[in-house]
């Protein structure tokens, strides 16, 4: 029986996560804690006995470094890795580089929450989750899903919102329920898919 395995991991804590700044496409590296989270994610996956065939990540260093550290812990650094900006974090536009508390003071708690969590409302000059999904999902369907359906074990290291766009489809979230979903840094989500690409099972390797 084919094991159609897909593992999604949000990158470890970045320097701007720590400073509570909107990051978007700004290329910010991991903190020491983020490095530890990435290594721990790799150890957890190793504990599951998973052997990966291929990995995908974004064009941003925090996701790439998380992937490298996980593969190092897994002892699987030789597998093919594909990097594409389709998997980048959503672009926060004019919010990039701003402290989230300062943004709340400027625009109000409710408006900032809408920009961060809503499905179809974008911050000024940036992307909504719907806009993010418009680049993530075609890439998933064309590049990642066919490999999973062939029985390859696929690891994806990406970002809170690029993965929310994907999890929205996999877990059948509505535009309402997705607003409540937050993905923690460095926590692997292990999906096994049916032949029709729907989810057979999901396991969250939270601490």
Residue 185 pLDDT greater than 70, yes or no = yes
Q: Which two tokens stand for residue 116?
A: 């961060």
pLDDT on residue 206: 83
The catalytic residues are 11, 89
| Average pLDDT of the chain, as a whole number | 96
pLDDT on residue 1: 59
Residue 117 — very low, low, confident or very high, per pLDDT cuts 50/70/90?
A: confident
pLDDT on residue 75: 98
Which residues, at least 6 apart from 159, have a Cβ–Cβ distance to it below 8 Å? 10, 11, 58, 60, 62, 63, 87, 88, 89, 90
pLDDT on residue 2: 74
Q: Tell me the pLDDT tens digit for each residue of 34-54.
A: 999 999 999 999 999 999 999
Q: Tell me the pLDDT tens digit for each residue of 137-150.
A: 999 999 999 999 99
pLDDT on residue 179: 87
Give the CATH number, domain containing residue 132: 3.40.50.1240
Instruction: Determine the structural domain holding residue 178 and report its residue range.
Output: 5-204
Q: In sequence order, what DSSP letters do the residues of 151-195 get, joined into one string?
A: T-EEEEEE-HHHHHHHHHHHTT--TTGGGG--PPTT--EEEEE-T
Residue 122 — very low, low, confident or very high, per pLDDT cuts 50/70/90?
A: very high
pLDDT on residue 207: 59
Report the domain count for the chain: 1
Percent of the residues in the chain that have a pLDDT greater than 70, as a whole number: 99
């Amino acid at each position: 029986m084919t094991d159609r395995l897909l593992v999604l991991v949000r990158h470890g804590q970045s320097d701007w996560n720590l400073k509570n700044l909107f990051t978007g496409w700004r290329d910010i590296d991991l903190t020491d804690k983020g490095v530890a989270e990435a290594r721990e994610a790799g150890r957890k996956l190793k504990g599951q006995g998973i052997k990966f065939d291929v990995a995908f990540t974004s064009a941003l260093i925090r996701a790439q470094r998380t992937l490298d550290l996980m593969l190092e812990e897994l002892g699987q650094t030789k597998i093919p890795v594909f990097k594409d900006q389709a998997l980048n974090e959503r672009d926060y536009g004019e919010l990039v580089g701003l402290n989230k508390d300062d943004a709340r003071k400027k625009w109000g708690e409710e408006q900032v929450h809408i920009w961060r969590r809503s499905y179809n409302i974008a911050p000024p000059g940036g992307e909504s989750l719907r806009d993010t999904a418009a680049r993530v999902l075609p890439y998933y369907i064309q590049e990642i899903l066919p490999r999973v359906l062939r029985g390859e074990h696929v690891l994806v290291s990406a970002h809170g919102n690029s993965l929310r766009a994907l999890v929205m489809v996999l877990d059948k979230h509505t535009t309402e329920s997705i607003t409540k979903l937050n993905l923690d840094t460095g926590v692997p989500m292990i999906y096994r898919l049916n032949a029709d690409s729907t989810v057979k099972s999901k396991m969250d390797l939270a601490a």
